[in-house]
Copies of this chain bind each other. A is one copy, B any other.
Amino acid sequence: MTTSLYPFARRMAHVEPFRVMDIQQRAFELEAAGRSIIHMEIGQPDFAAPAPVLERARQLLDDDRLGYTDSLGLPQLRTAIAQFHAVQSGVVVDPARVMVTTGASGALMTLLGSLVNPGDEWLMPDPCYPCNRHMVSLFGGLPRLIPTSAQSQFQLSAATVREHWRPRTRGVLLASPSNPTGTRIAPDELRAVHAEVRANGGVLIVDEIYLGLTYGARRDSALALGEDVFVVSSFSKYFAMTGWRLGWLVAPPDAMRGLERFAQNATICPPALAQHAALAAFEPASLAICEARREEFQARRDDLIPALQGIGFKVPTLPDGAFYVYADCSALATDSARLARELLEAAGVALTPGDDFGVHEPQRWLRFAYTCDRTLLRQAVARLKEALPHIKCAVGAA
């Protein structure tokens, strides 16, 4: 529960700050004071949009009035997104089931705003993307965080869903690959979770915004499970277009008109320039750039994990997607939130502690985003190595 002076609606007591934004702000303050900071806190690629997207955007500024688009998004972009699902995951999707949104945030707000009744329970893994539970709260729902562990790749299983399903449970929200852990749910387990949810008459929402950034595995989509699954995706991560605020969702055919009605009222439409420019994201030249970057992310991961292990962090399961390492710091410090603050001030390395992502032993975990180049990552590890012996929250310290 957080408090506020202003008399806000009751729901706001359940909506916590997105702490990583506060950490970033402190990092910026230190930089403004002349300190060198290595940013591993925010989940955004250190790349710009692919060159063809930028070039398309330049043309549009000359040619187009950039007015409102359809609330569901440009028809040609909805078609292009459907084709991308076929190319990436081998799933045929009717463009009529695709809705373009203002980032994955817009997709989640539209979905949860349309689906969550007050008092409904929604199951999600702990740890997970923090806004998920807060958005459920915004619409009067009750997020139920289910503790997970490295043994299950920090993902839910059909057994845990069955165990926690109650009469008021309405659905399951999971992400694969996951933020903050970078781990995927096993395809068979996802199929079993889907069957369990369907058997209970519930709703399954799968966040696939990191699906393009999968390492050493197929990019299987939950869309293959059936038309009843809601899938959320985004141009932010694989296409490196965070600030463009463009995402999408794929929904059951009979849900589209209701989702459209929500979007007409809540947003009118997603940003027009971003929508037009994003058409160029699916050109072969753009996809080649994104694939090269994916390989670079994988190389960073392969450098970073042993280096972190070498200075006392534990990485109990290999993250095979996204650009995060969720590292266990319990051998080093008593509280990851204090550790993150100390390391930012002492070493100039910005990290995100576990308490942004859940309530199950968050003090054990730190999220490292490998969204800076390998030289900087090596510097970061060297700085941490130097700072760790002097931290005040060390295990066994007085």
Measuring CB to CB, which residues of chain A are less than 8 angstroms from any residue of chain B? 2, 4-6, 8-12, 15-18, 21, 25, 42, 44, 46-49, 54, 57-58, 61-62, 64-71, 102-103, 105-106, 109, 113-118, 120, 130-131, 134-135, 138-140, 241-245, 252, 254-255, 257-258, 260-262, 264-274
B262 touches A244 (CB 8 A): no
B243 touches A105 (CB 8 A): no
B48 touches A12 (CB 8 A): no
Q: Which residues of B have CB within 8 Å of A4? A: 254, 257-258
A261 touches B15 (CB 8 A): yes
A265 touches B47 (CB 8 A): no
Contacts A12-B261, A61-B54, A65-B48 hold; do A118 and B115 have CB atoms under 8 A apart? Answer: no
Determine the residue in chain B with the shortest Cβ distance to A257.
B4
Q: Which residues of B have CB within 8 Å of A66? A: 48-49, 241-244
Query: Number of copies of this chain in the oligomer?
Result: 2
B265 touches A244 (CB 8 A): no
Determine the residue in chain B with the shortest Cβ distance to A243.
B272
| Cα–Cα, bound, A139→B117 (Å) | 11
Shortest CB-to-CB span from A244 to chain B, Å, is: 6
| Cα–Cα, bound, A44→B67 (Å) | 7
25 A-B pairs with C-beta separation under 8 A: A2-B261, A4-B258, A6-B254, A8-B114, A8-B115, A8-B255, A8-B258, A11-B139, A15-B262, A17-B261, A18-B264, A21-B71, A49-B66, A54-B61, A54-B62, A66-B243, A68-B243, A102-B102, A103-B267, A103-B268, A109-B109, A109-B266, A135-B266, A245-B268, A273-B273
| Cα–Cα, bound, A105→B42 (Å) | 26
- Ranked 6 nearest A-B pairs via Cβ: A243-B272, A18-B264, A66-B243, A6-B255, A5-B254, A134-B265
| Cα–Cα, bound, A252→B6 (Å) | 9
B10 touches A117 (CB 8 A): yes
| Cα–Cα, bound, A65→B57 (Å) | 14
Q: Which residues of B have CB within 8 Å of A245? A: 102, 245, 267-272
Contacts A68-B243, A109-B266, A271-B243 hold; do A114 and B44 have CB atoms under 8 A apart? Answer: no
Contacts A12-B114, A49-B66, A67-B243 hold; do A265 and B6 have CB atoms under 8 A apart? Answer: no
| Contact residue among B15, B115, B270 (Cβ-Cβ distance under 8 Å from A265) | B15
A9 touches B271 (CB 8 A): no
Q: Which residues of B have CB within 8 Å of A272? A: 242-245
| Contact residue among B10, B115, B243 (Cβ-Cβ distance under 8 Å from A9) | B115
| Cα–Cα, bound, A55→B372 (Å) | 30
Q: Which residues of B have CB within 8 Å of A261? A: 2, 12, 15-18
A102 touches B9 (CB 8 A): no
Most buried by B among A17, A46, A270, A273: A273
Q: Which residues of B have CB within 8 Å of A135? A: 265-266
